[in-house]
Structure 1
Amino acid sequence: MEEIFERRSIRKYQSKKVESEKIDRLLEAAVSAPSAGNEQPWHFIVIKDRKRLNHLAEIHPYAKMLKEAPLAIAVCADLSQQKHQGFWVQDCSAATQNILLEAQSLGLGSVWIGCHPAEDREKKVSSYLKVPAGFKTLSLVAVGYPAEEKERVNRMNDEIVHLEEW
């Protein structure tokens, strides 16, 4: 549970590479996410090449941190796998969140970079990464050893919790 409470969006990274074993753990966490009807529509693109990361930082307006991050993972969905129309968004969001939480548990920093539903962003990223037709790119996750520290924040607010009805 501590990973949930300690996780923060990290946008500054050390130049140290993320070890292959840790990348494997991130992907294992991603595919352990729940999915509607157990459809597991996800596919992942692991991006380590500096030129590719820099280019993604240029084509996505909120991905500038990829110029420092040594790793990004694109979370994509195979729309042909849908048993329940449209639930791929929730499925891939759960996979993305699992990557963020596992990164925290491994001493890594990460940040969720949204692609879908912003069509322009999604098209540019998908095109650049050669994502096939019939697939969608939900997110990019920047990952690396953090070069910044952020304090834990308690976001609990009793005014947003309703008992039995609004």
Structure 2
Amino acid sequence: MDIFTALETRRSIRHYTGEPIDESKIIEAIKYAMYAPSAHNSRSWRFILTSKKEHLLQLSKIHPYAKMLPEASWAVLFCNDMNAEKTEGYGALNVAASIENFLLAIHGMGYGAVWLGIYPRQERMAMMRDFFDLPDYLLPIALCSIGVPQNIPPQPNRFEPEKILKIYK
């Protein structure tokens, strides 16, 4: 799949078949996540992966939008290492860029995923810190649910030229 097709056809996938996905595929997608740009090349992203069914079930109960996790194969917690952040506040942007790379890689492999926001919701960050026993310097940014898609919804045309506010020539 070329990059333009991947960009146009990636969708948030919330319904999975329950089929397992090999750990090596998730690690490969994490590799591509690490090719994202980052402020000052700080590469402040950190990742926690789980395929434990009890984790997926518990996470589905503590995150208000994670009801799909019991059918997922994996969940990945994306964190910012604040000790590695060279410019305060940019770490969340670094991690967000890595998440987009991850989602595109998962899509390119034929799997589905959805981005579940955590940061900047204090209550969600606290729940994830507690659940994963995170040290204070790790800031949970988002959780991604990954699985074999039950179906792939059609992709609408999302180009909205009216959102280009100005073009200076």
Matched, 1:106 2:109: yes
Aligned residues: 165
Matched, 1:4 2:4: no
What is the aligned partner in structure 1 of residue 75 from structure 2?
A: 72
Identity of aligned residues (%): 32
- List per-residue Cα deviations over 1:112-165 (Å, max 9, x = no partner): 000000110111012101111111000001001001220011111121113336
- List per-residue Cα deviations over 1:28-58 (Å, max 9, x = no partner): 0111111000001111000100000100000
What is the aligned partner in structure 1 of residue 134 from structure 2?
A: 131
The aligned amino acid for 1:145 is V
What is the aligned partner in structure 1 of residue 144 from structure 2?
A: 141
Whole-Å separation in 2 of the counterparts to 1:38 and 1:149: 35
TM-score, structure 1 normalization = 0.96
Whole-Å separation in 2 of the counterparts to 1:33 and 1:76: 14
- Of residues 23, 27, 31, the one that matches 2:30 is 27
Matched, 1:92 2:91: no
Whole-Å separation in 2 of the counterparts to 1:21 and 1:55: 24
What is the aligned partner in structure 1 of residue 51 from structure 2?
A: 48
Q: CA RMSD in A?
A: 1.0
Q: Which structure 2 residue ranges, 5 or more long, are not aligned?
A: none
Q: What stretches of structure 1 move > 2 A for 4+ residues in a row?
A: 162-165
125-134 vs 69-78, which moves further: 125-134
